[in-house]
């Protein structure tokens, strides 16, 4: 089973790539909405062609199975032939969403995916609140991490952090971008303003 990641083009067509379905689609949506917010990053992602694994950045070569930062691309990282592994084009959004169940579309600066009620804007704050409300014990089981050139580093959550607002305040006070995980799943990025991963 594959996932599809695409971008709506001005002519109404959708340029897209395939991603091996080796992670939950929920994780894929979170990764896209947090790390692929700009058209340039999406274009650079699509330029990689088909992927074995989606990572937080399309820049830099995938190193090994423990690499949680870089994309693992068929062509760039595994020396597969470009033929059949480059981005393809669908004639319309409807044709793109008909490719399968795990489909993600970048349009007008937002990410959209299939949901039980049709196409859902997963970039909207309302979607994040909806997901958070579905979880019991909002702060329980969360881990914070920061990212630098050496990779992800854990941050201690103090006992006085009891809400999302407390986490946001901590990120601003420490002047760092925090990546919030529940298990291995990235659920939010805090204080990401003017913060770029290259």
Domain that holds residue 142: 136-190
* Cβ-based neighbours of 149, under 8 Å, separated by 6 or more: none
- Asked if residue 196 belongs to a domain, the reply is no
The predicted pLDDT at position 28 comes to: 84
Residues 54, 28 contacting (CB under 8 angstroms): yes
Least confident of 44-58, 126-140, 156-170: 126-140
More confident residue, 159 or 125: 125
The predicted pLDDT at position 25 comes to: 56
Nearest Cα to 33, choosing from 116, 102, 127? 127
- Asked if residue 57 belongs to a domain, the reply is yes
| 81 and 148 together in one domain | no
Q: What is the band of 4 on the pLDDT scale with cuts at 50, 70, 90?
A: very high
Number of domains in the chain: 2
Nearest Cα to 87, choosing from 18, 36, 2, 21? 18
Enter the pTM of the model. Answer: 0.66
Q: Which of 102, 127, 152 finishes a domain? A: 127
| 45 and 73 together in one domain | yes
Nearest Cα to 122, choosing from 196, 47, 28, 54? 28
Q: Which of 97, 127, 157 finishes a domain? A: 127
**Distances from the Cα of 190 to the Cα of 81, 125, 157, angstroms:** 39, 13, 14
The predicted pLDDT at position 173 comes to: 83
| 116 and 150 together in one domain | no
């Amino acid at each position: 089973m594959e996932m599809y990641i695409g971008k709506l083009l001005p002519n109404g067509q959708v340029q897209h790539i395939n991603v091996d379905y080796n992670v939950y689609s929920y994780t894929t949506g979170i990764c896209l909405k947090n790390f692929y917010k700009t058209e340039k990053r999406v274009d650079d992602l699509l330029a990689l062609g088909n992927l074995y694994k989606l990572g937080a950045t399309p820049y830099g070569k995938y190193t090994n199975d423990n690499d949680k930062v870089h994309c693992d691309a068929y062509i760039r990282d595994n020396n597969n032939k470009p033929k059949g592994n480059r981005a393809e084009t669908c004639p319309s959004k409807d044709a793109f969403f008909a490719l399968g169940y795990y489909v993600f579309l970048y349009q007008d600066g937002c990410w959209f995916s299939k949901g039980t009620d049709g196409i859902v804007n997963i970039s909207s704050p309302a979607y994040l609140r909806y997901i958070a409300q579905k979880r019991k014990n909002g702060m329980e089981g969360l881990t914070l991490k920061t990212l630098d050139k050496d990779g992800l580093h854990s941050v201690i959550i103090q006992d006085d952090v009891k809400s999302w607002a407390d986490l946001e305040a901590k990120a601003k006070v420490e002047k760092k971008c925090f990546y919030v995980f529940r298990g291995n799943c990235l659920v939010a990025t805090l204080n990401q303003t003017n913060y770029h991963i290259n």
